[in-house]
Amino acid sequence: MRCIKVDNLSFAYENKQLILRNINLEVNAGEFVCILGQSGCGKSTFLRLLSGLEKPTAGKVLIEGQPIVGASLKRGVVFQDYGLFPWMTAGENIMLALKQCFPKQDKRKLKQLALKMLDAVGLDEYVYRKLPKELSGGMKQRCAIAQAFGINPPILLMDEPFGALDAVTRARLQDLVLNLWSQETPKKTVFFVTHDVDEALLLANRIIVLGQSPSNIIYECIIPGDKHPTRENQFENPDILQLRNTLIRQINEDVTVRVS
């Protein structure tokens, strides 16, 4: 089933600067899509349009045939800055989202779900009572992931969620998200913004590359499940290395053309 259709989408801010231009894309339910591109090319703006936090200047975004109208709990968002309220504990942040999504559910059952999700992302129960300032960056990002998966949206939007983390924590969270996604039935449709080619290859089964602003799609590819790289063979598989070089070349050539 076609889950999301982006039809001739363009977007400009109030100063009339065009950010995205004539983007067309169809994504199946359950795909893991990574959006690549240089900083400033409109990746985060595209995600905000998918989330309903921004409205298209032209064109439209349809989900199962219906236009997006505002934000929705059916589209979970994980931000790079974690998106946790600093005056609330980690547990209270997660519970806030769960109460909005399941307003009729018993509070005790929601707390059980919150603790279950913390455990799923590798955090102990004591984290439930901690303020965000008492947690490391990796722990805060795990809480944000627990919150997003806890409300169980069919569509998950992730905006460079690991960009500010150290390499080891980043690798662990990449594996965590990939495992959570792959184990679900049905799988969520994931849009994951990154500027890291290697991260995109490790996570995605589909990659799109946005050119420099005003952006459109300059390249896209699908990675079949039987050819998907692992962390162990990512830099040894000749097909993946060739695709990696192609992605880097597409980005660099676009930058070169714009600069010249």
pLDDT string in tens for the chain (260-residue length): 458 999 999 999 876 788 999 999 999 999 999 999 888 888 999 999 999 999 999 999 999 889 998 888 889 888 877 788 999 999 999 999 899 888 888 989 999 999 998 988 888 999 999 999 999 888 988 898 888 888 888 999 999 888 778 888 888 889 988 988 988 888 899 999 998 999 999 999 999 999 988 889 999 999 988 888 888 888 888 989 999 999 999 988 877 766 66
Whether the pTM exceeds 0.95: the reply is no
Instruction: Considering the chain, tell me which residue range(s) the CATH 3.40.50.300 domain(s) occupy.
Output: 2-74+155-259
* DSSP state letters, the chain: -EEEEEEEEEEE-TT--EEEEEEEEEEETT-EEEEE--TTSSHHHHHHHHHTSS--SEEEEEETTEE--S--TTEEEE-TTTT--TTS-HHHHHHHHHHHH-TTS-HHHHHHHHHHHHHHTT--GGGGG--GGGS-HHHHHHHHHHHHHHT--SEEEEESTTTTS-HHHHHHHHHHHHHHHHHSSSPPEEEEE-S-HHHHHHH-SEEEEE-SSSB-EEEEEE--GGG---TTTTTT-HHHHHHHHHHHHHHHHHHHHHH-
Q: Which class in CATH covers the domain with range 2-74+155-259?
A: alpha beta
